[in-house]
Amino acid sequence: MNTVPITIERWAGNFANQPYVTVTICVPGMQGANQCATIDHMLIDTGSTGVRVLASALGSALAGRLPAQTGATDDPTSGAPIAQCAPFASGYTWGPIKRADVTIGGKAAGNLPIQVISDGSYAVPSDCASRGLGNIGAAADLGANGVLGIRSMVRDFPRAAQYVLSATYYYCTSTGSCTNTRVPLDTQVMNPVANFTSDNNGTIIRLPALPADGQARVTGELVFGVGTQQNNALPSKANIVSLDQNGYFTTTYKGVSYSSTIDSGSNTTYLWDTAIPYWGTDRTGYMYTPSTTLSLSAILTGVVKGATPVTVPFSVANGWALTANQNAAYDNLATPYSGLFLWGLPFFFGRDVYTVLDGARAGSQMGPFAAF
């Protein structure tokens, strides 16, 4: 079976537009009640790579049984545990890298490097804590029990295999001593789909269209593999957007081009438009608040030379007025953001959105690419 149900509902933190699946995590090579935990409310994220789970969701006993990942390139002992500071748009997660068997629906990824968030083993390094992002290492802040990162990348920070990157990977010789380090690719947090024995070239997220005022609860489907079975064929007329090695392409909005990505883990569409009013605070966050819902469009262009541009329509509603109804899912929320044009979960409603991994092939098309 290559599918697993998606649910979108308000849960911890009361966030809208949070797509969830259930994941089972086990001690490598072991099964049984004391060796595994089934974790619900794992956030599906096409904007990050790898499995990250709260230690509180695993339980301290199981978290302690998962073997520590070692082998950092710059660790003189080669035996110190590896930990990671993982950045997200809303904050960072901190915790050690462990090995685990990860099962999602009928698919299993064996002996996978994952991040265990906030297990208390090591103090947060200063360069991680000072990045200007908050620690989202609790369910109320993350809005989930963890993250299922299924971006187009196979490993989360390939550059960290060659360079010591600030606020990324560390080896930890004691509770208060973690040192920035390079880490080999095979010790980095990994996209679980790439570790499957079949249906391992990418994913499809299928979500229904929504009414203008949103919906109280949404169910959809996460499909593993693209063009590997009858239920995951890539349509002949699909819009294909080639990606760079980090999962980015170009979006042109009102004549301005932005680096861009398609990110199911972001609640809204992130864009910059000084013509649209917005409101919020640092505590509540910001959303655009036009007096009437706007019908807009932007142009997506892949990174391959000669790529065919694709015009995508989207809507922007008054976010604060709309979300007052406390529905769980909306396709017309947008947030002011000047750094990127980020297509968040609103992009996914009413579409099949394909993500094919870097180095993988789907039919005649070579990844990485997104399609819809």
Query: What per-residue confidence (pLDDT) applies to 329?
Result: 98
pLDDT tens track for 278-335: 999 877 789 999 999 999 999 999 999 989 999 999 999 999 999 999 999 999 999 9
Task: Indicate the pLDDT class of residue 83, thresholds 50, 70 and 90.
Answer: very high
Judge whether 301 and 260 are in contact, CB under 8 Å.
no
For the cut 90, the answer to whether the pLDDT of residue 186 exceeds it is yes
Query: What per-residue confidence (pLDDT) applies to 33?
Result: 72
As a whole number of angstroms, the distance between CA 280 and CA 266 comes to 17
Query: What per-residue confidence (pLDDT) applies to 284?
Result: 79
Question: Where are the alpha helices (H) located in the chain, listed in sequence order?
Answer: 55-58, 60-65, 126-129, 139-142, 319-323
Average pLDDT score over residue span 149-157: 98
For the cut 90, the answer to whether the pLDDT of residue 32 exceeds it is no
Instruction: List 77's β-bridge partners, or say none.
Output: none
Beta strand 49-54 with 107-117 is: parallel
| CA-based torsion, 210, 214, 216, 221: positive or negative | positive
Residues sharing a CB contact under 8 Å with residue 362, sequence separation 6 or more, in sequence order = 201, 202, 226, 227, 234, 354, 356
User: b or e along 313-352 (b: 16 or more beta carbons within 10 Å of the residue's beta carbon)?
Assistant: ebbbbbbbebbeeebbbbbbbbbbbeebbbbbbbbbbebb
Total residues found in the chain within this entry: 372
Count CB-CB contacts under 10 A for residue 94: 26
As a whole number of angstroms, the distance between CA 299 and CA 252 comes to 5
Range scoring the smallest mean pLDDT among 97-111, 119-133, 209-223, 227-241: 119-133
For the cut 80, the answer to whether the pLDDT of residue 126 exceeds it is yes
**Class for domain 228-371, per CATH?**
mainly beta
CA dihedral 13, 19, 21, 26 (to 10 degrees): -60
CATH fold of 3-195, please?
Answer: Cathepsin D, subunit A; domain 1 (2.40.70)
Which tokens is 310 given?
Answer: 């694709």
Query: What per-residue confidence (pLDDT) applies to 357?
Result: 98
Residues sharing a CB contact under 8 Å with residue 99, sequence separation 6 or more, in sequence order = 28, 66, 67, 68, 69, 111, 112, 113, 114
Which tokens is 337 given?
Answer: 């953001």
Query: What per-residue confidence (pLDDT) applies to 281?
Result: 87
State the chain's mean pLDDT as an integer.
96
**In Å, how far are 61, 191, 230, 311, 320 from 45, measured between CA atoms?**
27, 11, 24, 24, 24
Higher pLDDT, 48 or 34: 48
Average pLDDT score over residue span 114-120: 97
Query: What per-residue confidence (pLDDT) applies to 7?
Result: 98
Percent of residues, the chain, with pLDDT higher than 90: 94
pLDDT tens track for 346-366: 999 999 999 999 999 998 999
Phi, psi for residue 180 in degrees, rounded to 5: -55, 140
Task: Indicate the pLDDT class of residue 89, thresholds 50, 70 and 90.
Answer: confident
HSE at residue 82, side-chain half, CA atoms within 13 A, is 30
Residues sharing a CB contact under 8 Å with residue 88, sequence separation 6 or more, in sequence order = 47, 48, 133, 136, 147, 265
Which tokens is 289 given?
Answer: 């608040």
Average pLDDT score over residue span 165-191: 97
Query: What per-residue confidence (pLDDT) applies to 132?
Result: 75
Task: Indicate the pLDDT class of residue 25, thresholds 50, 70 and 90.
Answer: very high
**In Å, how far are 170, 298, 303, 345, 365 from 309, measured between CA atoms?**
41, 10, 10, 21, 17
Parse the chain into domains and list their residue ranges.
3-195, 228-371
Percent of residues, the chain, with pLDDT higher than 70: 100
pLDDT tens track for 248-287: 999 999 999 999 999 999 999 999 999 999 999 877 789 9
Query: What per-residue confidence (pLDDT) applies to 127?
Result: 95
